[in-house]
Amino acid sequence: MMFRHPWLVVLAVLVALGLITWTWWRPGRRTVLPTDYTGAPRGWGWLIPVNLAECIPALLAMVAILLLAGPQRLGEPESKRSLTNIELCLDVSYSMVAPFGAGSRYDAAMASLNIFCSYRKGDAFGLTFFGNNTLNWCPLTQDASAIQCSPPFMRPENCPPWMAGTEIAKALRYCRKVLTDRTDGDRMVVLITDGDSSDLRGDTTDQLISDLTKDNITVFAIIIGQNRVQDEVIQVTQKTGGEAFLAEDPEAMGFIFAKIDQMRQAKMEKTIAEAKDWFAPFCIAGLALMGLQAMTAFGLRYTPW
């Protein structure tokens, strides 16, 4: 047990001791009664219980001051979800308008991203669109509503010509920059594309893998509407601890995101126990003393007549 204001504990003890001492040693409690030359009994048998009853207000005062001192105790350590920073990297090249299920490849990708965000409540999400260039649409945040509202604005058919191609290496380097600005939490990139990248070749891929590994960034890739995954994409994902998936239909997207969620489950960490207010035992003691005081008022009190 601890107190928010420890000095009040000392005050409570001093007040209680002072009142109890005064109760037992105060003068002037005798009344002169006329007697016919006989000695009056001192009444020691009643003095002790009456004095004990009159000590109850002193104890009540001590309890009141102890409550003002703010009694506390350490709570149980709780498990806290460890933050994961997830950068969603979505291809908006013109090929993403190709039919894919009931909509386009872009529609299926955005719908699956929104479902994935609902799996990972408590994590921070960012959204980057890429083609031949990159655009950080949504900074890393635990409020995924900005991602959910983005589909109408960055549809591939609305993008400028300089976003029409597919440059994955450039996009991953940009995502790396976004993630390394966050010092706390794990780092992960979910790349969604439907094509091969011409800037993932030889030394470029090796350097990219080295940079991502150094910064502890795991890359997962989802290839939409294709029957193969580019070799360099497989290398990047596997060597960073992730995996590349083929999504040949919209239904596969949901299973892939569920698998990614299982592969990178949120870590739980124990938090330090926090001090919490602990008034209950003092309130119970105070109520008990008040009840006892009411009972003693029916007979155990000093009366001079």
% of the chain exceeding 70 in pLDDT? 86
| pLDDT at 165 exceeding the cut of 70 | yes
Average pLDDT, whole number, for the chain?
82
Q: Choose from 69-78, 177-186, 294-303 the range with maximum mean pLDDT.
A: 177-186
Residue 246 has pLDDT above 60, yes or no: yes
Q: DSSP per residue over 60-100, as a string?
A: HHHHHHHHHT-EEEE----EEEPPEEEEEEEE-SGGGGSEE
The two tokens of residue 246 are 């083929």
Averaged pLDDT, 202-219: 90
How many other β-carbons are positioned within 10 Å of the β-carbon of residue 128?
Answer: 21
Helix (H) or strand (E) holding 54: helix 44-54
How far, in Å, CA of 137 to CA of 163, rounded? 14
Whether residue 50 has pLDDT greater than 70: yes
* Mean pLDDT of the 238-259 span: 87
**257: confidence class by pLDDT, cuts 50, 70, 90:** confident
Q: CA distances (Å), 254 to each of 116, 189, 238, 249, in order?
A: 8, 17, 21, 10
Q: Are 86 and 124 in contact (CB under 8 A)?
A: yes
Asked whether the predicted pLDDT for residue 53 surpasses 60, the reply is yes
Answer yes or no: is pLDDT of 199 > 80. yes
Return the residue matching tokens 């649409």. Answer: 137
Closest CA to 93 of 137, 152, 159, 145: 159
Answering whether pTM is above 0.95, one says no
Give the separation between CA 264 and CA 270, rounded to whole angstroms: 19
Report how far residue 176's alpha carbon sits from residue 136's, in angstroms, rounded to the nearest whole number. 12
For the stretch 33-39, contacts whose Cβ atoms lie closer than 8 Å and that sit 24 or more positions apart, written own/partner, are none
Strand bridging mode 134-141 / 186-193 = unpaired
Residue 221: what pLDDT?
92
List, for residues 6-44, the tens digit of each pLDDT value: 888 899 899 889 988 888 887 755 655 555 555 555 556
DSSP letter (8 states) at residue 94: G
Domains located in the chain, CATH noted: 2-27+43-73+278-296 (no CATH), 82-267 (3.40.50.410)
The tokens for 79 are: 């498990």
Helix (H, G, I), strand (E, B) or coil at 126: strand
Angle subtended by helix axes 44-54 and 6-25, to nearest 10:
160
Predicted confidence (pLDDT) at residue 259 exceeds the cutoff of 80 = yes
> For residue 77, what pLDDT is reported?
60
Residue-wise over 274-297: b if at least 16 C-beta within 10 A, else e? eeeebeeebeebbeebeeebeebe
Residue reference for tokens 């109890």: 20
DSSP structure class, residue 98: S
CB 2 within 8 A of CB 72: yes
DSSP designation for 77 = -
Q: Give percent of the chain above pLDDT 90.
A: 23
User: 122: which residues sit within 8 A by CB, 6+ positions away?
Assistant: 81, 83, 142, 266
Cβ-count burial of 67 within 10 angstroms (0-12 exposed, 13-18 middle, 19+ buried)?
middle
- Contact by Cβ (8 Å): 287, 56: no
Question: Beta strands 124-130 and 244-247: pairing type?
Answer: unpaired
* pLDDT tens per residue, range 91-116: 988 888 888 888 899 888 888 888 88
